[in-house]
Amino acid sequence: MSTPITAAQVKELRDRTGAGMIDCKKALEATGGDLDSAAEKLRIEGMAKADKKGARTAAEGMIGTAVSADAIALVEVNCETDFVTKGADFQDLANTAAKLALAHRPATVEALLALTVDGQTLEQKRKALVAKIGENMTVRRFEVVAKAGGAIASYMHGARIGVVVALATGDEALAKDLAMHVAASQPRYLDAASVPADVIAAEQKVIDAQVAQEQEDAAAAAKEAGKDFKPKPADILAKMTEGKIRKFVGEITLLGQPFVKDPDQTVEKLLKSKNAQVASFARLAVGEGIEKKQTDFAAEVAAASKV
């Protein structure tokens, strides 16, 4: 005859492991009420469940931050639902990841996950939290921006957008203003020289197609109106294309964008007026570029009821 499992035992195991009440009861029953064995069983099963959850889309989350005198780190940590982001355990995971990134400056996310804190790797800490909460979680990416010759400042929009701006020359007030600008205007590169050639080439193809279509539409409209159509000379079309490329570069570069607090001047003109320069910047936004899976909640509940 098996020894009955008490509510006190279940509570003690739950307090120790963070697992659900039913899982705790089952683990205790399977181990004859031995708390240590039950905790080990839950840990092993939890790690296995964490691996299985790894395929589920994690597009919510937060940006963890860590600050030192010479650098600021941002880390994007994702989960499946916004509810989990409000939990202290998840926030601790994100901020711990940022502290490790700041302290060790790893080269990759894999290297970051291999770093140790409180006797376990960040990856082990992540898996344990997945097992406890029941949602997939990922440490997706990070940036560590080092202080240059001028001020360095960060700006957080809630916990979902994090920005760091380091100035080569310039004060903290300007750095903070620019960090807010980066959060709002989403520049991809610092200046025109920083834009990769393949990005320009890809946009060139789009613009060439647009210009050609505009000429076709103009020819069709002239024909319909019974008028002669005179195509634009090649040199004029080339100038139109160059203008569109310049506009594109201005839109995606920090220095080319209109400054959010004074749209009549570009960030480049603002910097010149203050004799300042930007050394580097970073911007992370939660879920950026992740395709969220759309689900039919009613269908999901109906399917679950059949299990």
Q: What is the mean pLDDT of residues 132-149?
A: 92
Decide if 32 is inside a domain: yes
Kindly report the backbone phi and psi dihedral angles of residue 54, in degrees, each rounded to the nearest multiple of 5, phi listed first. Answer: -60, -20
Decide if 27 is inside a domain: yes
Q: Which residues contact 303 (CB under 8 A, 6 or more apart)?
A: none
Alpha helices in 87-196 (DSSP H): 88-104, 109-113, 122-133, 172-185
Q: Is residue 68 domain-shared with residue 129, that is, in the same domain?
A: yes
Q: What is the pLDDT of residues 220-237, one digit of tens each?
A: 998 889 989 888 898 998
Q: Is residue 128 domain-shared with residue 103, that is, in the same domain?
A: yes
Q: Is residue 41 domain-shared with residue 99, that is, in the same domain?
A: no
207 Cα distance to chain centroid: 29
- The full DSSP string for 74-112 is EEEEEES-HHHHTSHHHHHHHHHHHHHHHHH--SSHHHH
Q: Is residue 84 domain-shared with residue 135, that is, in the same domain?
A: yes
Decide if 241 is inside a domain: no
Q: Which residues contact 174 (CB under 8 A, 6 or more apart)?
A: 151, 167, 274, 276
Q: Is residue 14 domain-shared with residue 75, that is, in the same domain?
A: no
Q: What is the pLDDT of residues 41-51, one digit of tens each?
A: 776 665 444 44
Kindly report the backbone phi and psi dihedral angles of residue 125, in degrees, each rounded to the nearest multiple of 5, phi listed first. Answer: -65, -40
Decide if 214 is inside a domain: no
Decide if 237 is inside a domain: no
Decide if 267 is inside a domain: no
Q: What is the domain extent for residue 84? A: 60-146
Q: What is the mean pLDDT of residues 76-92?
A: 93
Decide if 76 is inside a domain: yes
| Residue at which a domain ends, from 117, 146, 175 | 146
Q: How many Å apart are CA 295 and CA 276, to the nearest integer?
A: 49
**How long, in residues, is the chain?**
307
The answer, yes or no, to whether residue 89 has pLDDT greater than 80, is yes
Side chain identity at 97, as an amino acid letter?
A
Count CA atoms closer than 13 A to 80's CA, side-chain side.
14
Q: Is residue 73 domain-shared with residue 90, that is, in the same domain?
A: yes
Residue 272 pLDDT = 98
Q: What is the pLDDT of residues 3-31, one digit of tens each?
A: 788 888 888 887 776 666 777 888 888 88
Decide if 265 is inside a domain: no
Residue 18 pLDDT = 63
The answer, yes or no, to whether residue 145 has pLDDT greater than 90, is yes
| Residue at which a domain ends, from 146, 167, 186 | 146
Kindly report the backbone phi and psi dihedral angles of residue 251, in degrees, each rounded to the nearest multiple of 5, phi listed first. Answer: -70, -30
Q: Is residue 76 domain-shared with residue 43, that is, in the same domain?
A: no
Q: Is residue 102 domain-shared with residue 33, that is, in the same domain?
A: no
CB 16 within 8 A of CB 39: yes
Q: What is the CATH number of the domain that holds 30?
A: 1.10.8.10
Q: What is the CATH number of the domain that holds 70?
A: 3.30.479.20
| Residue at which a domain ends, from 124, 146, 168 | 146
Q: What is the mean pLDDT of residues 75-86?
A: 92
- Structural domain count, the chain: 2
Q: What is the mean pLDDT of residues 141-153?
A: 97
Buried b (16+ CB within 10 A) or exposed e, 233-242: eeeebeeeee
Q: Is residue 134 domain-shared with residue 107, that is, in the same domain?
A: yes
